[in-house]
Structure 1
């Protein structure tokens, strides 16, 4: 395995990933080009700064990272801004503190298979603290009660209706096999610019039904949003001047926000992709 990163380096990578996501025009989500859903960019900036040290702190378990990062976030904002980001980032941070670079993916697999019941209890407390929208209830292992299974098993139980849980159950394959591929392709075409992050986001939005929308509005609405995203994603993927897509992206952004549709899971996967890319790059 490759050499691990320091806590400071992991914290910086996490904070930078959150900032990169805010810089990108992401239809339906909060970004520097337009607020939405009763939230402002400043809420997410404060959240990122607060959560970064907890995500990267030395000596914590994954569950402790999740709980500490959510607690730090709720100390600076009064609503959920980053629970999904934290859930995805905590195992990646844990892996990077063991092995970054080319060894990150292998280290992550070991982190996920080593998750404990205590990790699950801490994560459940964090979820209750964050009070995310569209959570609903589950017949088994509902977050309103303390779990008696590992965090990985809890995620496996939830994977059918939550793409973050699905990624826990599948070694973050969306990040490593999709998100990082889109990121590399966008960077090769346009350079290291915010449009690359927009491209990653649209990749998730156009290829995987957003499970936050699915839980809040149903499978048909999630499928409709996916279909609406596809021609815009295709247009962006084919152009050498991504700024030419600013108008259709802004129109799609306004349309989603008018309908109250926030593809939050796609945004969470985007941050995790940028974070993973930074950890691999050292």
Structure 2
């Protein structure tokens, strides 16, 4: 199968990043409210400057992630999109090469591992801590899969690399299809995706910074919130109240937001003709 044009992939990536910012996503930075010492402009700039690296024709997964992070850090001086790039780079490579995501992940090599470890060190994500095996402070393993497998039980993005990104179709695309079937517009469909991830599994970023019990508590809060609202009614007040509560507790469900971008990007690539699954 022939792949998509690199320029189109870059355009779709940037659009997915911006669409995620337009939606009301409790706990994250979005068009309705800033948070966590970051503002919307930081994320818009991050999407702009990382898109060329993410979509660079012929580049491997690791290079796209590393160079996207480097461009972001140079432009905004903080980690705004490591998780997004980790999830979107394999999708971009798969779409460009006409591969499924599973096949694209099978092509990862030692060069990719070195570049991904370099990107993580550069971004220095909050709550990373230390690992007994394949710690990013040390040399990367020959196979990136090994490092991701070791971290899979504590990091949902690492888990994606060893499950062929199963969370994206199972949680994200399923929520998107349901939202569209219910007549939600694109912005509220994006909110539906975010809430689906937030209530389905404990957010990895929350767990790293606040512990597993806190992440599970937030998952249950999101589940209760979702059961009590109708997104078709555009419940801005209820969502902003939850948003304010999370931010008052310094809780940022960033992994759920990263998967929301990946879902939008996957959907856009598929609509353009990529067969990722």
Residues 199, 233 of structure 1: 8 Å contact kept = no
The residue that corresponds to 2:27 in the other structure is 28
What whole-Å deviation, never above 9, does each CA across 1:206-263 have from its counterpart, x for those lacking one?
Answer: 1100011111111111011011001222234xx36231x2111010000000000000
Q: Which of the numbers 166, 170, 192 marks the counterpart of 1:177?
A: 170
**What is the rounded CA distance, in whole Å, between the counterparts of 1:235 and 1:215 in structure 2?**
28
The alignment of Structure 1 onto Structure 2 pairs a total of residues equal to: 272
The residue that corresponds to 1:85 in the other structure is 84
**What is the rounded CA distance, in whole Å, between the counterparts of 2:162 and 2:10 in structure 1?**
25
Structure 1 residues 1-282: aligned runs within 5 Å: 1=1, 3-99=2-98, 107-236=100-229, 239=230, 241-243=232-234, 245-282=235-272
Q: Which runs of 4+ in 1 moved over 4 A?
A: none
**What is the rounded CA distance, in whole Å, between the counterparts of 2:204 and 2:231 in structure 1?**
31
Unpaired stretches in structure 2, ≥5 consecutive residues: 273-277
**What is the rounded CA distance, in whole Å, between the counterparts of 1:148 and 1:229 in structure 2?**
37
**What is the rounded CA distance, in whole Å, between the counterparts of 1:20 and 1:211 in structure 2?**
22
Residues 207, 226 of structure 1: 8 Å contact kept = yes
The residue that corresponds to 2:275 in the other structure is none
Question: What displacement does 1:14 show?
Answer: 0.5
- SS of 1:42's equivalent in the other structure is helix
- SS of 2:75's equivalent in the other structure is coil
TM-score, normalised with respect to structure 2: 0.96
**What is the rounded CA distance, in whole Å, between the counterparts of 1:211 and 1:27 in structure 2?**
16
Residues 190, 240 of structure 1: 8 Å contact kept = no
What whole-Å deviation, never above 9, does each CA across 1:83-141 have from its counterpart, x for those lacking one?
Answer: 00000000000000012xxxxxx621111112111111100001111111111110100
**What is the rounded CA distance, in whole Å, between the counterparts of 2:197 and 2:24 in structure 1?**
14
Question: What displacement does 1:277 show?
Answer: 0.3
Question: What displacement does 1:192 show?
Answer: 3.4
Unpaired stretches in structure 1, ≥5 consecutive residues: 100-105
Residues 21, 29 of structure 2: 8 Å contact kept = yes
